[in-house]
């Protein structure tokens, strides 16, 4: 009988924190910008420069730790991780090895197989490296230190996951929690959330772990799922052929659907870690922790329960809307401005989701304001515009956050509610379409649809189809 294998997966997730300035200096963390313009002696590793910890980094790290049920290390330190690489000007990275800020946490995930906990071994604070740009035309490599010193937290899980599905559920859970905290936007594609996958296999029932490999370069949930499948297969093939899995770091090439070895995996001792003598130990008192605890937001689970009680909208809508903190904020603020919850939810669930998908955007990228959505809803409630005009206006609003009231006024899109004018147009349409009129009178109900269409066309879309229908029936 063929052997049965179990996949054992642990993740190292790096998250860029949403601070305005870097972790140890006052340089901007803004994405983009001319190369080497967000730099100073500290983040370019000049001799004699001294790092000073950004307090906001500490607050975010503690907030994430509390939200993931970690124990906060109230006496913690920074360590130097020594290695040479051109994007790392100090020749060491300031990180935490011995006393990471958060330890022993766990988060609950849910998959088709039910709920389970994934343990969090630790969360530590560290600085990001610069970026190398390999210029193939000039056959040289350039380095940009704008990212050097951008604050990161690294969330190290226990090897508790057994499938790609569990890994995705875990990442979704982390992303949601951190977004709700406002600690990061967690965009995989832009690199503000990056996951390295540690994977090994063992025979079902075995106690000991197999040799693991680490996979890097995973920038979407789909790539992560494919990489896990690919690496599992590769390791099984090796074992079945009587060969050994080598502990190494591998790069996943999502286009080719295969991974290749980058380097043998280092252990902590290879980096000659030692406490950073430039940074004093951090002492966190209970009052500081209480302060952060008091500022924790309403997380998704609580929000879902509250929505169920407060708003008469379907369960499915609640799930989608609370799936993004930004979307949930828009929903709540629009409702607070007086719009009916179901109507707000409809705009988010139908048109918003459609446009996000078409433009390949995340819910976090929604630009229109709750004020403008509320205005659009009251325009349709007042029958000042019909539903097809409303959709048109919404598209412009989605794109440019225009004020729908002004836009409708300027473009002359208001529905003509003057019954006299509408009746006149309907009469003309009846006069010009004798065939359809006859069809309708002979019992072809559908013919009226054509006449409604013709009237709408004559009114340049600015009429209420219900009213046209009523007038047509009256006049026929």
Question: Which residue's entry shows tokens 């995973």?
Answer: 218
Q: How far is the CB of 37 from Zn ion (least distance, A)?
A: 11
Closest CB to Zn ion among residues 37, 319: 37
Paired residues of 109 in beta bridges:
116
Closest CB to Zn ion among residues 42, 223: 42
* Secondary structure E strands in 390-471: none
Question: Residues interacting with Zn ion, by CB under 5 A?
Answer: 25, 27, 40, 42-43
Answer for the pair 143, 86: CB distance below 8 angstroms, yes or no: yes
Cβ neighbors of 139 (< 8 A, separation 6 or more) are none
Q: How far is the CB of 24 from Zn ion (least distance, A)?
A: 8
Closest CB to Zn ion among residues 21, 454: 21
Closest CB to Zn ion among residues 43, 344: 43
Q: How far is the CB of 278 from Zn ion (least distance, A)?
A: 14
Q: How far is the CB of 35 from Zn ion (least distance, A)?
A: 14
Interatomic CA distance for residues 182 and 58, integer angstroms: 14
Interatomic CA distance for residues 438 and 63, integer angstroms: 72
Closest CB to Zn ion among residues 130, 230: 130
Q: How far is the CB of 130 from Zn ion (least distance, A)?
A: 11
Interatomic CA distance for residues 239 and 236, integer angstroms: 5
Q: How far is the CB of 57 from Zn ion (least distance, A)?
A: 14
Query: Which of 408, 339, 326 is CA-nearest to residue 368?
Result: 326
Closest CB to Zn ion among residues 35, 323: 35
Residue 197, CA distances (Å) to 15, 159, 215, 307 in order: 15, 10, 5, 35
Question: Which residue's entry shows tokens 């009587």?
Answer: 242
Strand 151-157 versus strand 5-16 pairing type: antiparallel
Closest CB to Zn ion among residues 147, 343: 147
Closest CB to Zn ion among residues 43, 429: 43
Answer for the pair 70, 103: CB distance below 8 angstroms, yes or no: yes
Q: How far is the CB of 94 from Zn ion (least distance, A)?
A: 13
Q: How far is the CB of 145 from Zn ion (least distance, A)?
A: 8
Paired residues of 156 in beta bridges:
12, 122
Nearest 5°: CA angle at 406, between 352 and 375?
A: 45
């Amino acid at each position: 009988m063929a052997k049965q294998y179990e996949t054992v997966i642990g993740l190292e997730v790096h998250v860029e924190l949403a601070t305005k300035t870097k972790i140890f200096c006052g340089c901007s963390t803004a994405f983009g910008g001319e190369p080497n313009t967000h730099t100073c002696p500290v983040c370019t590793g000049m001799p004699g420069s001294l790092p000073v910890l950004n307090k906001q980094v500490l607050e975010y790290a503690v907030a994430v730790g509390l939200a993931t049920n970690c124990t906060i290390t109230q006496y913690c330190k920074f360590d130097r991780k020594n290695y040479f690489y051109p994007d790392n000007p100090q020749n060491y990275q300031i990180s935490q090895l011995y006393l990471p800020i958060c330890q022993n946490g766990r988060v609950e995930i849910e998959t088709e197989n039910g709920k389970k906990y994934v343990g969090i071994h630790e969360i530590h604070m560290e600085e990001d490296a610069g970026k190398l740009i390999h210029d193939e035309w000039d056959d040289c490599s350039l380095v940009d230190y704008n990212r050097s010193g951008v604050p990161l937290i690294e969330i190290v899980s226990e090897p508790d996951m057994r499938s790609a599905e569990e890994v995705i559920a875990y990442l979704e859970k982390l992303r949601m929690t951190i977004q709700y905290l406002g600690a990061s936007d967690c965009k995989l594609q832009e690199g503000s959330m990056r996951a390295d996958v540690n994977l090994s296999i063992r025979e079902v029932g075995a106690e000991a772990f197999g040799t693991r490999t680490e996979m890097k370069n995973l920038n979407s949930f789909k790539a992560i799922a494919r990489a896990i499948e690919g690496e599992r297969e590769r390791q099984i093939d090796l074992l079945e052929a009587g060969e050994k899995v080598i502990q190494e770091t591998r790069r996943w090439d999502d286009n080719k659907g295969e991974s290749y070895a980058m380097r043998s995996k280092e252990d902590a001792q290879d980096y000659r870690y030692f406490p950073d003598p430039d940074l004093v130990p951090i002492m966190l008192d209970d009052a500081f922790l209480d302060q952060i605890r008091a500022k924790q937001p309403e997380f998704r689970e609580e929000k879902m329960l509250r929505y169920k009680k407060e708003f008469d909208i379907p369960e499915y809508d609640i799930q989608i809307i609370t799936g993004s903190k930004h979307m949930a904020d828009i929903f709540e603020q629009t409702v607070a401005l007086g719009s009916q919850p179901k109507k707000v939810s409809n705009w988010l669930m139908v048109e918003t989701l459609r446009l996000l998908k078409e433009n390949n955007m995340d819910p976090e990228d929604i630009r229109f304001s709750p004020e403008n959505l509320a205005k659009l809803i009251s325009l349709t409630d007042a029958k000042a515009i019909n539903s097809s005009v409303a959709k048109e206006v919404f598209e412009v609003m989605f794109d440019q956050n225009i004020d729908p009231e002004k836009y409708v006024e300027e473009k002359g899109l208001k529905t003509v509610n003057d019954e006299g004018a509408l009746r006149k147009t309907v009469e003309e349409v009846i006069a010009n379409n004798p065939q359809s009129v006859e069809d309708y009178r002979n019992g072809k109900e559908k013919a009226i649809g054509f006449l409604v269409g013709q009237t709408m066309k004559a009114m340049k879309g600015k009429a209420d189809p219900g009213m046209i229908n009523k007038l047509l029936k009256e006049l026929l």
